[in-house]
């Protein structure tokens, strides 16, 4: 049955700029949690494992995503982690009770191995320090171990472990979700602010070239938000370069229209944090701008009930293994739009996580690797969303849902890569029944023509990808063309789209 048409309009001009996009906005996250490390990126004895035990089939997909930075080693796990357990000869490393996820951590992968993996995968490391059960001393010692050339206790310890050259990790998180009552060593805003300030001071004495992320709220739903940001930044503003945001999106009520509007929640969250940062900037009479690191974001709710049944004190049990649906992928596409629309202040972001744990990439132990539905919007936006984010003028019909009003059916972000003479329009049609016909005025891009229109669509919002059976994947048969300086595009009902245009020779 033919879908009814709904009309929308856009104006895209190369002078309507948001910002140059920091590639780190497409980062991800690996935590010592479930099968993210063991059975995910690392599985010695697997047919595709390399000489260090890293799965090459998983690494190939990470490279395909062009992930620029990966946060490590946590997450909640870092708040009781002793980094010293994960360095040195593997047969001398202790197994520990990992309290955040009530598992056994065998420490076969630690700082050095993860840096090795990151280099092989073509990505940088965003390292988190433990400000829960530890503090200033452990943080500055770890930084000395990773970044100092030699001639001191911890730098020479690294060299004795076979790493003559420093790792030069330049992005560091000052703890994780310290506002959360679930966090080991959780703190009030004042307690965290003082500790983070003193830790940051010590770390920047060890290596003045590092960038530091101050802990923001664990979600916009926290009762202390946004006062947490205001209080902590009063302390950390001098040394911090970023403040973190974390948010996960759910559809427990099975309300697709409301679920697809939740990128507006992310938009509001970012706006509030920006306002709070700028309030502290004004209060301090500072010229320094604090930017944002949205270093945990994704859909997460499918596995919650199953996780309650997992027996504690296992090594790498299956935890947080959400099986993502088509509608999850559509929302993930819109969340990426939102990050790009705020790329003037959101400079880093991490889809949480990367492999097996609420992840775009899944594996079988000893077996295959496959792409979840959310892999595709992440892949296309990461690969083609490089350059300058533009601010389109959008005229779209709207709808109301349970939690949101005036939700545009057309959700979009636009990226211009001047060097490649490439214009990329990422577009979501939130309408559950109607095709969206979009008239996009791009007259400032004279001589550009459509070279590709990728569509992610499916008749079943709950369709999933499982090993050996990929129901949800994009096609390249999108309908769009140029007409008198206007891009005419047809966006199928409930779909995510990428339209690439190039200057015609």
Name all domains of the chain by residue range, CATH numbers in brackets: 5-14+390-503 (2.60.40.1180), 22-294+305-318 (3.20.20.80)
Give me the residues paired with residue 28 across strands.
Answer: 70, 351
**By the 8 A CB rule, do 127 and 172 touch?**
yes
Ranges under pLDDT 50 in the chain: none
Least Cα distance to 65 among 417, 306, 375, 401 occurs for 375
Tokens of residue 224, six digits: 């202390």
Looking at 43, 177, 229, 457, which residue is catalytic?
Answer: 177
Give me the residues paired with residue 20 across strands.
Answer: 388
* DSSP-based three-state secondary structure for 147: helix
**Distance (Å, whole) CA 260 – CA 170:** 36
3-state SS of 286-326?
CCCCCEEEEEEEEECCCCHHHHCCCCCCCECCCCCCCCCEH
Give the dihedral sign, CA 94/160/40/306.
Answer: positive
**Distance (Å, whole) CA 243 – CA 229:** 8
Q: Which residues contact 368 (CB under 8 A, 6 or more apart)?
A: 57, 467, 468
Give exposure, 121-135, as e/b (b: 16+ Cβ within 10 Å). Answer: bebbbbbbbbbbebb
| pLDDT for the residue numbered 117 | 98
Strand ranges (E), 164-270: 171-174, 211-214, 242-249
| pLDDT for the residue numbered 1 | 54
Give exposure, 446-455, as e/b (b: 16+ Cβ within 10 Å). Answer: eebebeebbb
* DSSP-based three-state secondary structure for 181: coil
Residue 20 appears among annotated catalytic residues? no
**By the 8 A CB rule, do 373 and 358 touch?**
no
Looking at 296, 327, 422, 457, which residue is catalytic?
Answer: 296
**Cα–Cα distances in Å, from 205 out to 54, 84, 144, 174, 382?**
35, 21, 10, 15, 34
**Distance (Å, whole) CA 243 – CA 213:** 5
Residue 296 appears among annotated catalytic residues? yes
pTM tops 0.75: yes
């Amino acid at each position: 049955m033919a879908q009814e048409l709904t009309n929308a309009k856009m104006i895209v001009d190369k002078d309507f700029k948001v910002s140059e996009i920091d590639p780190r906005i497409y980062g991800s996250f690996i935590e010592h949690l479930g099968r993210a490390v063991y059975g995910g990126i690392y599985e010695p004895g697997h047919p595709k494992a390399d000489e260090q035990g890293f799965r090459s089939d998983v690494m190939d997909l990470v490279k395909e995503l062009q992930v620029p930075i990966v946060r490590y080693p946590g997450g909640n796990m870092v708040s009781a982690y002793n980094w010293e357990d994960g360095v040195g000869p593997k047969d001398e490393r202790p197994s520990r009770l990992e309290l955040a996820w009530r598992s056994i951590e065998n420490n076969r992968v630690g700082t050095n191995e993860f840096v090795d993996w990151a280099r092989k995968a073509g990505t940088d490391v965003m390292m988190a320090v433990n400000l829960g059960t530890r503090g200033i001393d452990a943080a500055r010692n770890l930084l000395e171990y990773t970044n100092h050339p030699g001639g001191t206790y911890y730098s020479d310890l690294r060299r004795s472990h076979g790493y003559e050259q420093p790792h030069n990790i330049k992005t560091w998180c000052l703890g994780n979700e310290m506002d959360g009552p679930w966090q080991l060593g959780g703190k009030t805003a004042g307690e965290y602010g003082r500790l983070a300030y003193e830790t940051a001071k010590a770390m920047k004495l060890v290596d003045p070239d590092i960038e530091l992320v101050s802990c923001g709220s664990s979600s916009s739903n926290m009762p202390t938000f946004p006062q947490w940001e205001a209080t902590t930044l009063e302390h950390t503003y001098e040394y911090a370069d970023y403040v973190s945001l974390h948010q996960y999106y759910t559809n427990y009520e099975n309300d697709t229209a409301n679920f697809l509007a939740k990128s507006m929640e992310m938009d509001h969250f970012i706006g509030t944090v920006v306002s709070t940062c700028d309030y502290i900037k004004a209060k301090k009479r500072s010229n320094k701008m604090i930017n944002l690191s949205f270093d945990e974001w994704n859909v997460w709710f499918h596995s919650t009930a199953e996780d309650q049944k997992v027996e504690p004190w296992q090594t790498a049990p299956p935890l947080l293994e959400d099986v993502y649906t088509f509608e999850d992928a559509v929302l993930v596409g819109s969340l990426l739009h939102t990050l790009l629309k705020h790329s003037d202040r959101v400079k880093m972001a991490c889809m949480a996580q990367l492999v097996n744990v609420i992840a775009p990439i899944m594996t079988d132990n000893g077996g295959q690797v496959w792409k979840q539905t959310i892999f595709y919007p992440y892949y296309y936006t990461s690969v083609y969303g490089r350059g300058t984010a533009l601010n389109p003028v959008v005229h779209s019909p709207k709808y109301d849902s349970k939690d949101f009003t005036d939700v545009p059916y057309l959700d979009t972000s636009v990226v211009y890569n001047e060097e490649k003479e490439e214009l990329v329009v990422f577009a979501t049609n939130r309408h559950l029944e109607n095709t969206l016909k979009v008239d996009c005025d791009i007259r400032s891009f004279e001589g550009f023509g459509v070279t590709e229109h990728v569509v992610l669509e499916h008749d079943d919002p709950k369709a999933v990808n499982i090993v050996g059976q990929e129901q949800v994947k994009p096609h390249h048969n999108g309908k769009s063309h140029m007409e008198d300086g206007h891009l005419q595009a047809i966006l199928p009902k409930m779909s995510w789209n990428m339209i690439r245009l190039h200057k015609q020779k």
